[in-house]
Every structure is written in structure tokens, then in C-alpha cells.
Amino acid sequence: MQFRYRRSYQGPLQALIVDWAGTVVDYGCMAPAAVFVDVFRREGVEISVAEAREPMGAHKRTHIAEICAMSAVAGRWRGQHGAEPTEADVDRMYANFIPLQLECLSQYSGLIPGVLEVAEACRRRGMKIGSTTGYDRDMLAINLADAERQGFRPDASFCASDVPRGRPYPHMALQNVIALDIETVAACVKVDDTVPGIEEGLNAGMWTIGLAVCGNEFGLPEAEVKAMPAETFQRRRQSVYRKMYQSGSHYVVDSIGDILPCLDHIQARLARGEQP
């Protein structure tokens, strides 16, 4: 008779790895969406905010390329320019995107409610805090400086321009594992407000928590969310929950301030020998 044994980690959680816009800063993930719309408008092509948000979480150049690949956007581009968008067009728009995004980032750098409390609770548990973003290093530097002034500073931070491939590839998450000196990816939790960000964590072999309301998928500033009629809020909320669970997220909550019970549940699952 033959047996196969499976090795499983049963120790404590070691790291929380968070996204930036829509997860720890910029409630509603407003800054990049507005700039993508502006960049395409400067090319004579109107895109909707929903179209601008669709690839959110990816490297920003990749994001622009994915917007261009949408059939409706490509049709408008052909109507304006007489040809399909090219790699040169994507490069030009990305070059235009960078200064526009840098200029407005600090306007949207307020911490999302619950960030400081969650960070403190994680550190009490002995967890380190890492971060990943689809922004480049200069954009990340602005977020880091603005967040630190408000009391939040992760132990490691990596952006899409630091690695060979951005999300949904796991490269940024795994760079955090190395920088934070983490024993195993099974001891890590990735928190994100976008599907590519959840896929990043899954591809890295981590537990994942999706944020449904405070980020890109809901796509509204906090004041507008609070003013929304209850029935409308619940309908939109349920739609985002469904989408994030279908993407493979282990847990979905409204906002980062709601993740601590998830961490308790993950810890209990690890103690039982479960893996991500």
C-alpha cells in the first residue's frame, strides 16, 4: 500500500501585503481613473469611467494598452484616427499619464478609515506589512510620503516598475516575501480592491482578501457611498462581492477596516493544517 504525504504550515501569520489606491489610500480609487479618462480625451477619444476602471490594478502602461484593446474604445479610436491604436500610441499616452498622475496624487492620498488600527493590530500579532502597486516608483514615493505623515509606513513596498511583470503575475508579492524575510507564502495575506490584485496574491500562493466597497470595484468616494440609498448600495455591494469571490478571493469584506476577523479565521484554518 502506498501513501502520499502533504506538508502543511501550521504556524502564525507572518505578513500582510496590501495594495495602495483603493486599499489603504484614495477611497474609491479615484486618482488613476480620472487621469486615464483625461489621457484618452487628449487623444480625441472619450472613454467612460467604467472603461477606465476595468483593467485597474495592472501596470499603468499595460492598463492603457488594455483599454485600447476594448472593442468599443478601439472603434472610437478608429473613428478619430483612421487606424487601430499602436504600441507607439500606448507609449505616448503612458508618457502623458505619468506627469498628470504625479500632479494629482496627493489630492487623493488620505488614508482609508481603519488602516492605522489594522496596521497596529497586525504588528501586535507579530506580522510585518508589505505593499504592492500598479504605480511606478515616483508615484509610490508620493503615496509613501503622504501616508507616513498620517502615521502609516509599511516595512516593504514594491511597484510594477520594480519587477519583470506586474499583476496578475506574483512578482511584486514575492519580492515582499524576500524583503520581509518571510518563511512561507502560506503565512502571508494579500489584500486588494481589484481582481488583478487578488490574482497576484493567488498566483503567489497567499491567502487573499478582496475589498468590495472602499476601492475600484465600487468606484465612489466615501461621502457618495454613505449618501447612497440603502437598496442601491446593497445591490451594488452584492454584485462586487460576487465578482470578487468568482475571481478566487478567499474572503471579501467592505473595507480594510473589516479584515481582522478574516485574519483570525485564516489563523484558525492554518492551525487545522489548511493551506491557501
Q: Which segments of 10-136 does DSSP mark as H helices, in order?
A: 30-41, 49-53, 60-69, 71-81, 87-104, 115-124
Identify the pLDDT of residue 58: 84
Neighbours of 213 (CB within 10 A): 23
Known catalytic membership, residue 60:
yes
Specify if 57 maps to a domain.
yes
pLDDT (0 to 100) of residue 32: 87
116-143 per-position pLDDT tens digit = 999 999 999 999 999 999 999 999 999 9
- Does residue 3 form part of some domain? no
Quick check: is 244 in a domain?
yes
The pTM is what? Answer: 0.91
In a shared domain, residues 82 and 156: no
Could you tell me the pLDDT band of residue 4, with boundaries at 50, 70 and 90? confident
Percent of the chain with pLDDT over 70: 100
Number of Cβ within 10 Å of residue 42's Cβ equals 13
Terminal-residue alpha carbon distance, the chain:
29
Let me know whether 75 and 143 are in one domain: no
Residues 130 and 244 in one domain: yes
Could you give the number of structural domains in the chain? 2
Last residue of a domain, one of 60, 87, 107: 107
Q: What is the pLDDT of residue 246?
A: 97
Does one domain contain both 233 and 158?
yes
Active-site residue 19, yes or no? Answer: yes
Rounded mean pLDDT of 93-111?
Answer: 93
Pick from 82, 107, 132: which residue ends a domain? Answer: 107
Give the domain extent around 48: 31-107
Q: Are residues 240 and 173 in the same domain?
A: yes
Pair 156, 261 in one domain: yes
**55: Cβ contacts below 8 Å, ≥ 6 apart:** 62, 63, 66, 67, 196
Instruction: Report the 3 state secondary structure along 205-258.
Output: CCEEEEECCCCCCCCCCHHHHHHCCHHHHHHHHHHHHHHHHHCCCCEEECCHHH
CATH code of the domain covering residue 60: 1.10.150.240
| Catalytic site residue from 26, 38, 60, 226 | 60
Q: What is the pLDDT of residues 154-203, one digit of tens each?
A: 999 999 999 999 999 999 999 999 999 999 999 999 999 999 999 999 99
Looking at the fold, whether 38 and 19 belong to one and the same domain comes out as no
Task: Give the per-residue pLDDT at 162.
Answer: 95
